[in-house]
Amino acid sequence: MRLYKCQVCNYVHDEEAPEKCPKCGAPREKFNDLSEEQITLVERSVYSNSLHMELYTLLQQMSEIADAGIEDDLDPGCVAIFKKTEIFSELMKRMIQAELEIHMKKGKWGKG
């Protein structure tokens, strides 16, 4: 497995560097051949990154359900649960964002 990264926009391509970057249109010369170590980082993190994104989507749905529950305002017990759910899902979403930012900075990102 070889990976090529566009130095202009960070798009990652496999097999062979493309004639032109599909994302930004940069020519082939702008693609760097990633090292074995860089490829290992990208490949090892694909599954974990997809789990983070899946979880993020569910947390987003939780947040929307909680908002609907708060607005429905049936009784204080319900609203308390929905407000805690809202706080929890926002907290977890921010943690996931922070973790994925670390992954990107460490090169644990690039294809899925």
**Is 96 or 104 the residue whose CB approaches Zn ion more closely?**
104
Two tokens, residue 26? 């940069």
Q: Cα–Cα distance between 13 and 32 in angstroms, integer?
A: 10
Min separation Cβ 31 and Zn ion, Å:
8
Give strand pairing partners of 4.
Answer: 13, 33
Q: Which of residues 21-80 bind Zn ion (CB under 5 A)?
A: 21, 23-24, 26
Give strand pairing partners of 3.
Answer: 14
C-alpha closest to that of 46 among 92, 94, 12, 8: 12
**Is 21 or 66 the residue whose CB approaches Zn ion more closely?**
21
Query: Of the ranges 2-10, 50-58, 60-68, 72-80, which one interacts with Zn ion (CB under 5 A)?
Result: 2-10
Min separation Cβ 16 and Zn ion, Å:
15
* 86, 68 contact by CB (below 8 A): no
List interacting residues with Zn ion (CB under 5 A).
6, 8-9, 11, 21, 23-24, 26
